[in-house]
Amino acid sequence: MHRADRPPSRRAFLDVTGVTVAAGLVAGCSPDSARPDRPTPATAATPAPVPATGRYQAGITLPRTAQRNLLALVADLGPAVAPGPLLAELGETVRALTTGSAPRLLGLPPGDLTVTVGVGPRLVRMAGPALPGAADLPRFSRERIATRARGGDLLLQICADDPLLLPVAAAALLDRAGDRVRERWRQSARRGTDVPVAEGLTAPRNLLGFIDGIVGPHTTAEQERDLWLAGPPSVAGGTLAVLRRMELDLTRFAALSIAEQEAVFGRRRASGVPLSGGTAASGPQLGAKTPDGRYLIPVDAHVRRANPTVVGVGHMLRRSYSTDEPPGLLFISFQNELRTFTATLSRMDASDALLPFTTTTASATFLILPGFGRRRPLGSPLFG
């Protein structure tokens, strides 16, 4: 591997982080801001903490409105590394970080920091080849994925409203793992503005200007049906995650008229309402037609091609974030069957008006481990 292709070492990453924080401190103490006659700006309230322990891991349905910033880090375990002890140690570090008792937080309040840990198919197969999460993702069209950006043994999904917490938490977790892991890739991303779509439910806009993630298992009953794994006991309370990093052709999409953009998605850009009418939370009426017999929602519109009822699968809980350089989307979905994702994308591959504006550059699936606590270390039901 060429030197330029190697992921940064932990020491190099910490050095860069330290310079960045120092630069931020200097900028914050500029002469104008330090003048005693200037009014003191209001301090934003620290978000409420999110418990790391419990039946399920945090960072999926908790907090209910996803934090504004995310760092996804994918790594491999060394060939002789036992997953059980490593995961237990990572769980201890997660608990210390989220409660504010970790010295590695460098004095930052943890706020709504969450760390969600998943293991890749290779590790799941070590525990049981027939377990949920043991299957790799197949390849799809419109992919341009380097070898190190496909798959992986370990996922650390770190989320917080405060972006400074993300690299600090990542450095603490990697330091705890030591030489037992080798980083594959990482991606920082952020959420767009949240838009109300139903009572108690919001969804963010993506870089294409549309509301993203309206449909999903939002109620407890829907989540028990489509999100959480019910068994076997070693994975009960976990779920399956899919990560797909995509570049978006913003220039070509922006050249379309608003009507053409809405035809791609099958929804109104401003409100998220399906082209068949109703509200943003309404199910699209796929059979609705104009008086001259044309479908109100085009046959290749995204909401039609990805509709779970038409595909014959359950709902995904999508928790996607937008990326800056290059502009794109870090698609993240959680579901209790991998087929929910693979069957949906296979149908989209055949004819979905949105896909030609995307190129996938990273792809992986992980078993998100069940929740943990002091008497039940992270990963112990699977690797204990």
Alpha carbon distance 120, 132 (integer Å) = 11
pLDDT for res 44: 65
Between CA 234 and CA 236 the distance in angstroms is 6
Chain-centre distance for alpha carbon 240: 12
Top-confidence residue, 6 or 153: 153
Using one digit for the tens of pLDDT, what is the confidence trace for 341-372? 999 999 999 899 999 999 999 999 999 999 99
Phi, psi of 131 (to 5 degrees): -75, 150
pTM over 0.85? The answer is yes
Neighbours of 247 (CB within 10 A): 17
**Res. 8: pLDDT tops 90:** no
SS3 (DSSP) at 42? coil
What phi and psi, each to the nearest 5 degrees, are found at residue 275?
-65, -15
Pick from 287, 278, 236, 275: which is nearest to 353 by CA?
Answer: 275
Candidates 265, 73, 288; CA nearest to 171 is: 73
The percentage of residues in the chain with a pLDDT greater than 90, rounded to a whole number, is 85
Q: Residue 157: what are its φ and ψ, rounded to 5°?
A: -100, 110
Helical H runs in 227-291?
250-254, 258-265
* pLDDT bracket for residue 45 (50, 70, 90): confident
The structural domains of the chain, with segments of one domain joined by +, span 48-383
Q: 131: pLDDT confidence band, cut at 50, 70 and 90?
A: very high
The DSSP letter of residue 30 is -
Integer Cα distance of 127 and 79 in angstroms = 15
Place of tokens 């969450």: 114
| Tokens, residue 264 | 């791609």
Residue pointed to by tokens 């590394």: 81
The sign of the CA dihedral 279, 206, 269, 289 is negative
pLDDT attached to residue 43:
56
Where residue 25 falls among pLDDT bands split at 50, 70, 90?
A: very low
How far apart CA 154 and CA 332 sit, in angstroms, is 15
158 phi and psi angles, rounded to 5 deg: -110, 125
Helices and strands counted in the chain (H then E): 12, 11
Among 258, 350, 360, 344, CA closest to 299: 350
3-class secondary structure, 219: coil
